[in-house]
């Protein structure tokens, strides 16, 4: 009977060992649970560069999924999706708007971008406006902030499907103090247009808005320079420089008997240069209707 008792003790020890190791006697334990493989897409950081205060990107913090805000490849103007009402084909855009105080959110500019974001919640509209800048200053930061060229301080800048270039008014009234001429303004604008086109980015331009109410700096010569510059910008599509033009001068100026060189009263802030939210949103409506109507 002694060997039988010994066998019983061994059986008990085997069971205790199996329980401690999480195994059934003589079997294989359950496979460990697999971790979730889904990873989130990181936020796009604000553009920072020494000596320049950059406006924050107009990106809704409440976007439901960051995957929907990923930047398209620069060689492809936008990500296309089939869907919408009746199978309408829609797109997710990523636009950079470079400009002066009329774009800079810190200067109460950029409401046209807010309207675009309201109507295109899955698309991204980054505000790269800096108050007070002339177009040569915009051109100096264009490659870093918009194109992210290799070797630049911001070489990891996101790819954009579109860029909107709006500037020139600060140059026009700095003709004497900074030696800015229409030819120089055109050269700097043309540089930004061509640099973006070379990267497969759709380029949109905006004419200089009426600023005849800015009487401290308005003059017959500067009026002539403004009209000449705007005519050149309007012809950008025909030259192949840009893919589209929004005519801020025509949209925001008043017609006779009012002064067509001035912003309409509903669109003018007290200085006669800066544009009210209503005026900016009118520009946004034009941008949406002509170039982003198929947005998501």
C-alpha distances out from residue 56 to 18, 22, 127, 130, 152, Å: 60, 54, 6, 11, 20
SS3 call for 234: helix
Q: Is the pLDDT of residue 201 over 90?
A: yes
For each of the domains in the chain, give its residue range(s) and CATH number, in order of start: 75-291 (3.40.50.1110)
Q: Is the pLDDT of residue 235 over 50?
A: yes
- pLDDT: which is higher, 65 or 181: 181
Comparing CA positions, the residue from 132, 149, 158 lying closest to residue 192 is: 149
User: Rounded CA gap, 191 and 205, in Å?
Assistant: 13
Highest mean pLDDT among 12-21, 75-84, 259-268: 259-268
Q: Is the pLDDT of residue 49 over 80?
A: no
Please give the structure tokens belonging to residue 208.
């200089």
- pLDDT: which is higher, 221 or 13: 221
pLDDT of residue 165: 99
Q: 83-113 burial by CB neighbour count: b if 16+ within 10 A, else e?
A: eeeeeeebbbbbbbbbbbbbbbbebbbbbbb
Q: Is the pLDDT of residue 254 over 90?
A: no
């Amino acid at each position: 009977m002694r060997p039988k008792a010994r066998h019983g003790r061994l059986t008990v020890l085997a069971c205790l060992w199996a329980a401690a190791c999480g195994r059934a006697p003589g079997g294989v334990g359950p496979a460990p649970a697999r971790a979730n493989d889904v990873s989130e897409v990181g936020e796009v950081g604000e553009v920072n560069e020494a000596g320049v205060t950059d406006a924050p990107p107009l990106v809704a913090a409440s976007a439901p999924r960051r995957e929907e805000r990923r930047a398209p490849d620069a060689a492809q103007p936008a990500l296309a999706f089939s869907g919408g009402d009746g199978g309408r084909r829609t797109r997710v855009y990523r636009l950079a708007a470079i400009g002066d105080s009329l774009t800079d959110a810190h200067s109460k500019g950029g409401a046209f971008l807010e309207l675009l974001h309201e109507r295109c919640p899955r698309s991204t509209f980054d505000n790269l406006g800096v108050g007070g800048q002339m177009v040569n200053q915009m051109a100096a930061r264009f490659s870093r902030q918009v194109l992210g060229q290799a070797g630049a301080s911001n070489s990891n800048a996101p790819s954009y499907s579109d860029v909107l270039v709006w500037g020139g008014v600060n140059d026009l009234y700095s003709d004497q103090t900074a030696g800015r001429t229409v030819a120089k303004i055109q050269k700097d604008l043309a540089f930004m247009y061509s640099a973006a086109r070379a990267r497969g980015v759709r380029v949109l331009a905006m004419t200089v808005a009426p600023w005849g109410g800015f009487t401290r700096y308005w003059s017959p010569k500067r009026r002539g320079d403004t009209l000449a510059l705007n005519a050149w910008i309007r012809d950008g599509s025909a030259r192949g420089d840009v893919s589209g033009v929004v005519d801020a001068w025509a949209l925001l100026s008043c017609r006779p008997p009012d002064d067509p060189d001035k912003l309409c009263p509903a669109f003018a802030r007290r200085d006669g240069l800066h544009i009210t939210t209503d005026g900016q949103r009118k520009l946004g409506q034009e941008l949406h209707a002509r170039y982003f109507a198929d947005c998501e």
